[in-house]
Chains A and B, each alone.
Chain A
């Protein structure tokens, strides 16, 4: 508990509680309806304030996703000694600008709030489709006479009636519907209280503080009570606290802190300061302390820096020192020459204590990577070195890669691809000298769909691979796939696949290998929007046996409900492998799913934002 305190104090030091929310627009009307699914508002005989005017209109339509606000039918804008009339009013309350439109002998446009700005009359399909009947098709909507739209587009309804799937539900004095998964602007919240048979009681809470562009802080608490479970062998309870705070001093300087505490006696914290000079140089200093379970803690101080010198290249440096004499350093340089040659040089040195002993593992690594890319081919070579100074072992690994970029011939009908990788390994220790090498060559040839008839096409794919290594084991692999597709009639198509793969290993006089074949067929059925599905079968011609079958069916029901199922049948075991059943409601911004899974015997309810 002592360690939780510092983390909590850091997180909530000198912060205030919940941030206030500004009202963007307050709507009062004879009838107002808000759809949570589509994030839209429809109103009749509505009044609101805009700029310095009091506005009234017969109809109001608001689409919050695209931020379109549209009033029409006897629109009146009143202020002190001025009254403006119009047939339509398109406005943006955030920018405090709008256009008043009159349809007389000609279309008259008048700017409100930005008199010198340009006006235009654009088609808007969203507004055309927005009406009360569409709102009433929503899974969740409410009706009332007063709605407030906040600056962050949260919606508050007052004295509202909630409707769920068209059925009148409860009435609320004040009801808020926000955008689903969205970070709160600040304050404390209890996120979850749950019970599962495997974990017991789970509670999650969080506290966040945000000051726009300056401070962002989040602290999360997870609590699990396992004592309510029978036969639970672990700790009776577990607490986990995580905190993260970022402070932006200005555009080039920021600082932060993270902390984590777990009641199993591990905790860690990190403080950092980052400075940037003109986007070309940046440097970060950090201090971290890490206390693992049952081990001594470690305190590290680090410096990391990048220098971007444009055409000269980019240089990066990393250095970390630990109070028990542990060291991590790294240096790298990267650049591109003539737009085709890429160079990377890197080296690192690490000195890490071995367990609780006083010995240190000292390892030096270095590497060079050079690559050359052209339109036709690409060539790259790497050299990697790893020197274990403690064990006096040196491993070097040069590699050479060559590949031809995919090229097409016969008018694009065929496309071929070849590449080769050669790797050499050399290991040197005190009395030991070892080396090995391997080479892998891959060839791939594919065709575009070849139309035999208007509704019938074929395509092929051939792949060959040869792997050689010093120990004398050689692998040769090859594969061939042919795919056929035929459209039977509208909405129904049949696909067939035949694949054959062979892999041979030779070592000295011994040859061993495997060959496999598969024949699959897929029937796709999509006659209408309400019904679609597919069913597949796979057959092994070599062993003359059926393997698996899968089926996927989706049927549209009433409103936006649909039924979906996934079924798998295993011919070898002669049983249904798995059945997943879904009942799904598409509700604009989210999906509600009721799921049954036969394998895990689970029934789930999911609310998935979209």
Chain B
């Protein structure tokens, strides 16, 4: 795993995706939060999984296993992301510290904490 970033947008204009507006603080006006992963030297099938936890440590989103490289080719770099959309109706529950974790083949490779403010 090369890096995991939280960002607002993704640049998909090139061959590989790139994270844009990397930050760890967001507001209710943001469309959503992107958890961006970049992995190097992938030569077999792998699966990624994102889990998002709210301020009360309850899971609010689970992507399940996302299969990558099912053809088992050699890939020098793999980029992937998951977007979590905020629901402005849940204002009271939204403000505070959130957590997102990323699993690679069921093993936790990264944990990111971010803040949502008014």
Q: How many residues of A contact B (CB 8 A)?
A: 18
Decide yes or no whether B27 CB sits under 8 A from chain A: no
Q: In the docked arrangement, what's the CA distance between A87 and B105, Å?
A: 12
Decide yes or no whether A128 CB sits under 8 A from chain B: yes
Name the prevailing secondary structure of the B interface residues.
strand
| B53–A73 CB distance below 8 A | no
Decide yes or no whether A585 CB sits under 8 A from chain B: no
Interface residues in A480-495 by Cβ distance below 8 A to B read: none
Decide yes or no whether B77 CB sits under 8 A from chain A: no
**Selected interface stretch from A100-108, A155-163, A191-199:** A100-108
Interface residues in A447-503 by Cβ distance below 8 A to B read: none
| B108–A72 CB distance below 8 A | yes
Q: How far is the CB of B25 from chain A (nearest CB, A)?
A: 11
B interface footprint on A64-84 (CB within 8 Å = 1, 0 otherwise): 000000001110000000000
Interface centre among B4, B97, B106, B111 (most CB of A within 10 A): B111
B interface footprint on A286-310 (CB within 8 Å = 1, 0 otherwise): 0000000000000000000000000
Decide yes or no whether B58 CB sits under 8 A from chain A: yes
For A74, the closest partner residue in chain B by CB is B107
Q: In the docked arrangement, what's the CA distance between A504 and B102, Å?
A: 77
Decide yes or no whether B18 CB sits under 8 A from chain A: no
Q: In the docked arrangement, what's the CA distance between A87 and B101, Å?
A: 10
Interface centre among A74, A88, A103, A128 (most CB of B within 10 A): A103
Q: How far is the CB of A88 from chain B (nearest CB, A)?
A: 6
Interface centre among B2, B24, B101, B103 (most CB of A within 10 A): B101
| A106–B99 CB distance below 8 A | no
**Which residues of the other chain, B, contact A87 by a CB distance below 8 angstroms?**
101, 103, 108
| A123–B1 CB distance below 8 A | no
Q: In the docked arrangement, what's the CA distance between A131 and B59, Å?
A: 27
Decide yes or no whether B89 CB sits under 8 A from chain A: no
| A131–B1 CB distance below 8 A | yes
| A103–B51 CB distance below 8 A | yes
Interface residues in B56-77 by Cβ distance below 8 A to A read: 57-59
Q: In the docked arrangement, what's the CA distance between A58 and B3, Å?
A: 17
Beyond A106-B53, A107-B99, whether A73 also contacts B59 by CB under 8 A is no
For A108, the closest partner residue in chain B by CB is B57
A interface footprint on B86-113 (CB within 8 Å = 1, 0 otherwise): 0000000000010101010011111111
A interface footprint on B1-34 (CB within 8 Å = 1, 0 otherwise): 1111000000000000000000010000000000
Decide yes or no whether A181 CB sits under 8 A from chain B: no
| B58–A105 CB distance below 8 A | yes
Interface centre among B24, B58, B113, B114 (most CB of A within 10 A): B113
User: Which of A58, A104, A121, A131 is within 8 Å of B2, CB to CB?
Assistant: A131
**Which residues of the other chain, B, contact A50 by a CB distance below 8 angstroms?**
none
Interface residues in A86-113 by Cβ distance below 8 A to B read: 87-88, 103-107
Beyond A121-B99, A131-B3, A133-B2, whether A106 also contacts B108 by CB under 8 A is no
Q: How far is the CB of B29 from chain A (nearest CB, A)?
A: 22
| B2–A73 CB distance below 8 A | no
| A73–B99 CB distance below 8 A | no
Q: In the docked arrangement, what's the CA distance between A264 and B53, Å?
A: 75
For A57, the closest partner residue in chain B by CB is B107
| A72–B111 CB distance below 8 A | yes
For A58, the closest partner residue in chain B by CB is B107
User: Which of B3, B59, B103, B106 is within 8 Å of A105, CB to CB?
Assistant: B59
| A103–B53 CB distance below 8 A | yes
Q: In the docked arrangement, what's the CA distance between A415 and B114, Å?
A: 46
Q: In the docked arrangement, what's the CA distance between A104 and B1, Å?
A: 22
Decide yes or no whether A376 CB sits under 8 A from chain B: no
| A72–B109 CB distance below 8 A | yes
Q: How far is the CB of A119 from chain B (nearest CB, A)?
A: 11
| A106–B109 CB distance below 8 A | no
Interface residues in A123-160 by Cβ distance below 8 A to B read: 123, 128, 131, 133
Given A72-B107, A72-B108, A73-B108, 12 other A-B contacts at CB below 8 A?
A74-B107, A87-B108, A105-B59, A106-B59, A107-B53, A121-B57, A121-B99, A121-B113, A123-B24, A128-B110, A131-B2, A133-B2
